A and B are shown apart, each in its own frame.
Chain A
Amino acid sequence: MRLRVKATGICIAGALVGAVPSFAQTISSLPGISNTRVAAQPDYAPLGIRLGSTMLNAGLGLGLEHNDNIFATPILEQEDTILHVLPYVDLRSDWSRHALNLHFDADLAKYSDFDSEDYDDLRFKADGRLDVVRDSYLFGEVFANDLHEPRTSSDDRGGVEPTRFDFDGFKLGYNHLFNWLLASIEYGLRRLKYEDVATITGRVINNQDRNRDETYLRLQLGYEYRPGYLAFVRYIDEDIQYDEIVDDFGLQRSSNGYTAHAGVAAELTGVLDGEIYLGYVKRDYDEPTFIPTSEPYGGLRAIWTPTGLTTVNARIDTRVEETTDPNAAGYLSTGYHLRVDHELKRNIVLKADAGYRVDDYDLTLDATRFDPRREDTTIFGLGVKYRINRNFSLDLDYAYEDRDSNVFRNEYKLNRWLLTLTGGI
């Protein structure tokens, strides 16, 4: 199989600009189905509704979650039961050339005891492709999200309710194939706008100093030097501009920099598919007291299907994240993640995943004065998905998270159980 089209979709998580809102703690990132055959099981896939030359799929999920540490605190944990309402609508074009897709989903959460924690997350995305010639096309995406910052976020400041923020943006790019050569250019803008939140004492936490625009320009070259093997290089120029020149601590957090890496993507015998890369990340800050970041890094992504019924996903990625910590410019987050999905029956899928992430805040001017903040987060999850029929499915998931930090208040342990019934067409 030719890699070219796949290469353009290769995850660039290792090189993204910082502070991509972490959805790891949201309902959508509990162990779920990915890259397994059951996702494509025709006998259990909703048929959808044909609207002209587009297909409409829509549905509603009802989830019941139990969380034994909803505030992610090291002591005095509080537990609660949360009802999730999860509607979604998906409209996909069915054209021979070009494509236009629309997607909307939401997570409306109601806490049983601590209703101040209630939130309504809304996500909207439109993406499209304009074919120029075969294997060469323009692509674009627009998205708008109204989200909440989970309590497990390292930037949570302990307000009486979760911090809400808007995460909007777009990207535009062009992929071009010429024989065995792939070239790609992409420009993207992401806008983050936070709302203030009150503390229990009545003081208002000013989050306006976190508002920012993140822009990037990505250039990619790939060469399929032999069938199934693609060598690639990527260069991503990044620029982060905060609305306010200085934050509440008088620090100029705007920055710019680049990430560059080279690697190989391969598809081996149809059983193993993946890529590995090594690169370098550099970031310069407007704040003179911040040390510019210069770090080598590596990454890996692999999908292995040893038996045809089992899929193993492995990922290692590194990214530079923004922070509100006054003693750090940002942090380098390196994540290791392994996930196994097994199709026990055509309508029963077992899921397990494990992950480990290191957040290293060693990006400050005077590291000798402070013990650089460092956090290690371990996650572990189990789940089972039972497809009742084409239109209904039942998911039972369990997740365990454990964050260790040299800053005691940032530590937590929590267990989450989630039972979700989803119906859709």
Chain B
Amino acid sequence: MTCDPSTWRCHTVSPPRSLPNARLVLVHLLVVVVALSLSGVNAWAQTEPAETAYRLGNGDKVEVTVFGHDDLSGEYTVDGAGNFSMPLIGSVAAKDLTAGELEGLIVSKLKPDYLVNPRVSIEVLNYRPFYILGEVEKPGSYPFVDGMTYLNAVAIAGGFTYRAKKSHALVVRAGGDSDDEARVQLDEMVEPGDTIRIAERLF
């Protein structure tokens, strides 16, 4: 009902002609879903601090899941060039990206040419191995385990030899130069791709 303040006469206004109720609900629902999905992607990206997030490198194995599209989902290994290939979008440059950044990259490649609203999730299946040599019983490469210390790495490699210098380890990071050997304490964390060297003591 509306009223004219000058004449103080009111009348009932007929409502405009409306859409059927089911369609209205569906539209509203779609809007809500789109809004939520967009905010969810953004929120997920913002909960992972970039400076501590793991960054992919050569040899890492990831599982890419595109919701509703099994033909696009699968396990992919980052090759020597830092890329892997997916159907439809081809080569994806994954090196030095976090899982969240890779998700965003794949989404941007799929949309809008292939999918309207792709839902992508990334899981790192296998990290790059670490390498250990020098005064350990069994030098070689071993699977990285999240949260392991250099002392753990020595234990995995069979322990120190009797000639080992046990006060510290020498490490070259993945992709680093052999001249960039850093001295680390044994309780520090190993990173995938590390080349660890246990030095020999003279006395």
Contacts and interface: CB of A to CB of B under 8 A. Distances in A.
Nearest to B164: A308
A342 B203 contact: yes
Interface string B180-203: 000000000000000000001111
A376 B162 CA distance: 40
Contacts of A37: 162
A40 to B, nearest CB: 11
B166 to A, nearest CB: 11
B202 A345 contact: yes
A344 B163 CA distance: 10
Interface in A34-50: 37
A343 B202 CA distance: 8
B137 to A, nearest CB: 13
A346 B201 CA distance: 11
Contacts of A342: 203
Nearest to A343: B163
Contacts of B162: 37, 308-309
A307 interface: yes
B148 to A, nearest CB: 27
Interface string A309-349: 11000000000000000000000000000000011111000
A386 to B, nearest CB: 15
B202 A346 contact: no
Interface residue tally on B, bucketed by range: under 10
B162 to A, nearest CB: 5
A77 to B, nearest CB: 38
Contacts of B163: 308-309, 343, 346
A179 to B, nearest CB: 34
Nearest to A346: B163
Contacts of A309: 162-163, 201, 203
Interface string A206-234: 00000000000000000000000000000
Nearest to B202: A344
A307 B202 CA distance: 11
Contacts of A310: 203
Contacts of B202: 344-345
A307 B203 CA distance: 8
B38 to A, nearest CB: 64
Contacts of B201: 309
Contacts of A307: 203
A384 to B, nearest CB: 14
A289 B149 CA distance: 79
Contacts of A345: 200, 202
A401 B55 CA distance: 69
A345 B200 CA distance: 8
Nearest to A342: B203
Nearest to B200: A345
Interface in B7-45: none
B151 to A, nearest CB: 19
A344 B202 CA distance: 5
Q: Among B200, B201, B202, find the residue whose CB has the most chain A CB atoms closer than 10 A.
A: B202
Nearest to A310: B203
Interface in A327-380: 342-346
Nearest to B162: A308
Nearest to A37: B162
Interface string B89-116: 0000000000000000000000000000
A305 to B, nearest CB: 10
A171 B106 CA distance: 86
Contacts of A308: 162-163
B136 to A, nearest CB: 15
Interface string A129-153: 0000000000000000000000000
Contacts of A346: 163
Contacts of B203: 307, 309-310, 342, 344
A102 B201 CA distance: 38
Interface string B137-176: 0000000000000000000000000110000000000000
A32 to B, nearest CB: 21
A307 B163 CA distance: 10
A37 B162 CA distance: 10
Nearest to A348: B202
A307 to B, nearest CB: 7
A314 to B, nearest CB: 20
B167 to A, nearest CB: 14
A310 to B, nearest CB: 8
A407 B163 CA distance: 50
Contacts of A343: 163
Given A309-B201, A344-B202, 14 more contacts: A37-B162, A307-B203, A308-B162, A308-B163, A309-B162, A309-B163, A309-B203, A310-B203, A342-B203, A343-B163, A344-B203, A345-B200, A345-B202, A346-B163
**What are the 7 A-B residue pairs with the smallest beta carbon separation, nearest first?**
A308-B162, A344-B202, A309-B203, A307-B203, A309-B163, A346-B163, A37-B162
Interface of B: 162-163, 200-203
12 contacts: A37-B162, A307-B203, A308-B163, A309-B162, A309-B163, A309-B201, A309-B203, A343-B163, A344-B203, A345-B200, A345-B202, A346-B163
